[in-house]
């Protein structure tokens, strides 16, 4: 209706002015409309250090959406006034230049552009210009005067199908759609000129300010990258120059606060003792994210020290630095942990994807609680150097996103050998995000594991039963009631490895820090108990007192041997039942973490109380592709898309 009213208004003005020959073309139903506000419709430019220009870009007055192309029919209209002119675009020429070369450009394009000499004299700081040549079709007043109007709208007409339709109310559409858009959708919007990377970052910052901050906020985001907008502008310029872009080009990603970034952000694991810690180097996965052109939007809040400070006393999602993360679906329910902020931020539309870490359920648990997709990769698929550790045997990092494909794209980027992590040296395969498009349930052999300790709400069980029925209808082969004896405990590994791993990490921090050992962390907390010890630090003090940090304890060595036996037993389970993947009603926090096998959690529905219902999958080592195919097929089959009401 908005478009019809707009075209009626334009047609009326052109008809009154005698330009009836244009009406049929403008009324063509195969025409797609784009709208862009701008101040100088004949030129886009950026000027370093000029706040006025920054303001124009921020307020969408420099054509961030309706990017014109040669051959477009353009109606130049005052924002709340009459049509001024109709013309076609004869040519578009972009220049990345200094002022010294502008006179040559001016002489070449003066006639086509109708630019006044005094304009050039006022643009001595120009760095980039997109000059648009025009061919006049109809002018209701002299074209030069039309171009000089202070604020106009371009109404750009082109054949439907060449570009997606851009709504008239761009700001409203962007605010509701783009924060929840997928990676492919966003990158298509960047390339189509409908959205800039900077605008996307601003949309997320606006949502964070509105829903995450303050006493009633979700407290998912611990810190914003002060360079995020500068990085976004740099990527916008990169795209404008036609340079090759990375797999995560322009995608804002939040990083869990225990992952090093060698920039102006802290790396604290939520701990008061590390509140002033700046990492000297990027973590291996952060390097890969930067190389893929991702935007590191900020650090996500987390359960302090990845839920390793206490033995159950500290609630999921609490940290001394960030406070309590809130579940966006039901505020008084747990957000899961320890990657709580990462999960909530993705669910609430504060970022496109996030990175979490897991030792024992810390990716899949919060992902399930918040209705998103989480992947815990095989131990050794993703490098771990630069991550504040718990266990050198069990720690890993993985993607958290709203769809299987988005999670797979991020996993593709962060996977690969890490020269500082020997666990990655034997990596036999590379994950492919294309597996999400190849997903099919036909012939897939799935084993259903129902551990006796699993406690699910009746609605959860009913939804799981419905899923099993639908999967059989799609050709999946299900084997129920797998038998596997869980006679192991990750604590007997983590409690011995923590001191050694933490002391090594702290030894690599900046030399001017006073926190160099686990003992220093404990002492700092004890010096500020009101701030740092709201829930105590029982695990830390027990480990400091009863482990040597040299990994020579007999119990620890026996558990490493037992772990290898469990890995062989779990491999044998797949062979015994002839299955490709294992499926559980909800996440299992022992088998995959202890063995290092990959796991994935997927939302499959929603309870009456609005909490998400999840389903959990495991596969053999380095069989992420099988997990992704299966999960993508189930995602497509069920069509479940969850979004909390904030």
- What pLDDT score was predicted for residue 13? 75
Estimate the crossing angle of helix 170-177 against helix 197-211, to 10 degrees: 70
Residues 6+ apart with CB under 8 A from 234: none
Q: Span 539-565, mean pLDDT?
A: 97
256 is catalytic: yes
For 21, half-sphere exposure in the C-beta direction (CA atoms, 13 angstrom radius) is 3
Quick count: other Cβ atoms within 10 Å of Cβ 11?
A: 18
End-to-end CA gap in the chain? 29
Mean predicted lDDT score pLDDT of the chain: 83
Q: In this structure, what DSSP letter does residue 27 have?
A: T
Question: How does pLDDT run across 333-343, given as a tens digit for each residue?
Answer: 999 999 999 99
Residues 6+ apart with CB under 8 A from 524: 272, 273, 514, 515, 532
Question: How does pLDDT run across 271-282, given as a tens digit for each residue?
Answer: 999 999 999 999
Ordered structural domains, the chain, with CATH: 2-168 (no CATH), 198-490+556-638 (3.90.1300.10)
Say if CB 267 and CB 276 are below 8 A apart.
Answer: no
Say if CB 17 and CB 138 are below 8 A apart.
Answer: yes
Going by C-alpha positions, the residue among 566, 571, 568, 643 that lies closest to residue 603 is 643
Going by C-alpha positions, the residue among 192, 196, 195, 190 that lies closest to residue 229 is 196
Catalytic residue from among 256, 499, 625, 629? 256
Tokens of 471: 């999967």
Question: How does pLDDT run across 189-238, given as a tens digit for each residue?
Answer: 999 988 899 989 989 998 999 999 988 999 999 999 999 999 999 999 99
Tokens of 170: 């761009």
DSSP string, 138-188: EESS-HHHHHHSSSEEEEEEEETTSS----S-HHHHHHHHGGG--HHHHHH
Catalytic residue from among 153, 271, 338, 339? 338
Question: How does pLDDT run across 100-146, given as a tens digit for each residue?
Answer: 444 444 444 444 443 444 444 444 444 444 445 555 566 555 544 55
Q: Is the pLDDT of residue 296 over 70?
A: yes
% pLDDT > 70, the chain = 75
Q: Span 515-531, mean pLDDT?
A: 97
Max Cα–Cα distance, the chain, nearest Å: 95
Q: What are phi and psi of 277, to 5 degrees?
A: -80, 120
Going by C-alpha positions, the residue among 499, 512, 483, 514 that lies closest to residue 544 is 499
pTM over 0.85: no
What is the enclosing helix (H) or strand (E) of 423?
none
Check residues 586 and 373 and name the one with the higher pLDDT.
Answer: 373
- What pLDDT score was predicted for residue 130? 46
Catalytic residue from among 362, 367, 385, 500? 362
Check residues 125 and 602 and name the one with the higher pLDDT.
Answer: 602
- What pLDDT score was predicted for residue 19? 73
- What pLDDT score was predicted for residue 1? 34
Say if CB 249 and CB 235 are below 8 A apart.
Answer: yes
338 is catalytic: yes
Question: How buried is 519 (Cβ within 10 angstroms: 0-12 exposed, 13-18 middle, 19+ buried)?
Answer: middle
- What pLDDT score was predicted for residue 175? 72
Quick one: pLDDT band at residue 484, thresholds 50, 70, 90? confident
- What pLDDT score was predicted for residue 161? 44
Q: Cis link prior to 453 (omega < 30° from 0)?
A: no
**Dihedral through CA 71, CA 72, CA 75, CA 76, nearest 10?**
-80
Check residues 525 and 115 and name the one with the higher pLDDT.
Answer: 525
Question: How does pLDDT run across 433-468, given as a tens digit for each residue?
Answer: 888 888 789 999 999 998 765 557 788 899 999 999
15 is catalytic: no
In whole angstroms, give the CA distance from residue 83 to residue 586: 60
Strand order in the sheet with 73-78: 31-38, 152-159, 73-78, 83-96, 126-139, 43-47
Q: Span 511-517, mean pLDDT?
A: 89
In whole angstroms, give the CA distance from residue 272 to residue 6: 57
Among 87-96, 176-185, 381-390, 522-531, whose mean pLDDT is lowest? 87-96
Say if CB 491 and CB 553 are below 8 A apart.
Answer: no
% pLDDT > 90, the chain = 63
Check residues 589 and 491 and name the one with the higher pLDDT.
Answer: 491
Question: How does pLDDT run across 16-54, given as a tens digit for each residue?
Answer: 777 776 776 666 655 555 444 333 333 333 333 233 333
- What pLDDT score was predicted for residue 214? 87
């Amino acid at each position: 209706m908005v478009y019809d009213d707009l075209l009626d208004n334009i047609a009326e003005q052109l008809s009154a002015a005698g330009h009836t020959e244009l009406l049929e073309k403008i009324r063509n139903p195969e025409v797609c409309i784009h709208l862009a506000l701008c101040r100088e419709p004949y030129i886009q430019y950026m000027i370093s250090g000029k706040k006025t220009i920054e303001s124009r870009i921020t307020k969408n007055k420099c054509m961030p959406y309706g990017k014109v192309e040669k051959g477009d029919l353009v109606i130049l209209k005052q924002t709340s006034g009459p049509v001024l002119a109709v013309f076609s675009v004869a040519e578009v020429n972009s220049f990345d230049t200094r002022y010294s070369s502008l006179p040559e450009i001016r002489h070449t394009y003066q006639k086509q552009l109708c630019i006044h000499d005094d304009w050039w004299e006022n643009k001595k700081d120009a760095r980039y210009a997109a000059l648009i040549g025009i061919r006049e079709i109809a002018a209701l007043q002299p074209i030069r005067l039309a171009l000089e109007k202070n604020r106009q709208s371009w109404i750009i007409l082109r054949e439907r199908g060449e570009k997606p339709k851009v709504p008239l109310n761009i700001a409203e559409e962007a605010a509701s759609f783009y924060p929840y858009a997928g990676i492919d959708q966003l990158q298509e919007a960047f390339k189509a000129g409908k959205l800039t990377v900077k605008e996307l970052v601003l949309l997320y910052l606006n949502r964070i300010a509105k829903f995450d901050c303050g006493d009633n906020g979700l407290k998912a985001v611990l810190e914003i990258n002060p360079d995020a907008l500068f990085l976004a502008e740099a990527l916008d310029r990169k795209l404008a120059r036609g340079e090759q872009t990375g797999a995560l080009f322009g995608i804002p990603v939040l990083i869990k606060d225990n992952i090093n970034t060698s920039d102006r952000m802290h790396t604290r694991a939520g701990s008061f003792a590390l509140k002033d810690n700046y990492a000297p180097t990027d973590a291996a996965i952060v390097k890969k994210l930067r190389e893929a052109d991702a935007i590191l939007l900020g650090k996500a809040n987390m359960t302090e020290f990845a839920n390793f400070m206490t033995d159950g006393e500290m609630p999921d999602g609490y940290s001394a630095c960030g406070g309590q993360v809130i579940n966006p679906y039901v505020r008084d329910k747990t957000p899961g942990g320890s990657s709580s902020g990462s999960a909530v931020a993705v669910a609430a539309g504060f970022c496109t994807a996030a990175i979490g870490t897991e030792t024992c359920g810390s990716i899949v648990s919060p992902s399930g609680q918040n209705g998103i997709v989480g992947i815990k990769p095989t131990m050794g698929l993703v490098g771990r150097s630069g991550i504040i550790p718990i266990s050198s045997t069990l720690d890993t990092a993985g993607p958290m996103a709203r769809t299987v494909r988005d999670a797979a794209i991020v996993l593709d980027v962060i996977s690969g050998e890490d020269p500082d992590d020997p666990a990655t040296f034997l990596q036999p395969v590379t994950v492919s995000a294309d597996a999400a498009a190849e997903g099919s349930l036909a012939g897939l052999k799935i084993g259903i594991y129902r551990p006796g300790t699993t406690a699910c709400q009746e609605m959860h069980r009913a939804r799981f039963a419905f899923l099993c029925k639908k999967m059989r209808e799609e050709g999946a082969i299900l084997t129920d009631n797998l038998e596997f004896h869980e006679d192991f405990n990750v604590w007997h590994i983590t409690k011995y490895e923590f001191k050694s791993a933490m002391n090594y990490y702290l030894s690599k921090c900046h030399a001017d820090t006073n926190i160099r050992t686990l003992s220093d962390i404990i002492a700092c907390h004890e010096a500020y108990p009101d701030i740092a010890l709201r829930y105590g630090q029982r695990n830390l003090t027990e480990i400091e007192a009863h482990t040597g940090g040299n990994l020579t304890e007999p119990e620890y060595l026996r558990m490493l041997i037992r772990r290898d036996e469990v890995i062989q037993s779990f491999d044998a389970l797949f062979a015994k039942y002839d299955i490709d993947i294992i499926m559980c009603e909800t996440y299992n926090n022992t088998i995959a973490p202890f063995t290092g096998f990959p796991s994935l959690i997927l939302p499959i529905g929603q309870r009456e109380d609005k909490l998400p219902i999840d389903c959990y999958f495991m596969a053999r080592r380095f069989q992420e592709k099988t997990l992704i195919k299966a999960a993508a097929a189930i995602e497509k089959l069920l069509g479940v898309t969850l979004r909390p009401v904030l």
